[in-house]
Amino acid sequence: MQGTFDVYTDINTGTYYYACIIQDATACCSSGIEFSWKGEHKFPDDYPSVGTPVTVGGVFETYPEGDKNYCRLKEADVVFGT
């Protein structure tokens, strides 16, 4: 998928969540999907600024966290600036 890079920090746990944000056809609305980048990467050193174009491909999965289930692309290949 192609979109823009975004990051969310859970202030309670300090966990970072990375996402690709995608605009709809008229660019009035957006959706995003979390991804976990394949390999070892440190935030913020290895990541671009929020809003940078990104292409992400990975394995879709759901995972539990607390009492909720979430989805993401795991083991993702990520190319920034595309």
CA distance 7 to 20: 9
For residue range 16-61, what is the model confidence (pLDDT) as tens digits?
A: 999 999 988 887 889 999 999 999 999 999 999 999 999 999 999 9
Alpha helices, DSSP H, located in the chain: none
Inter-residue contact 6 to 19 (CB < 8 Å): yes
Q: How confident is the model at residue 8 (pLDDT cuts 50, 70, 90)?
A: very high
For residue 24, the model assigns a pLDDT of 85
For residue range 61-82, what is the model confidence (pLDDT) as tens digits?
A: 999 999 999 999 999 999 998 7
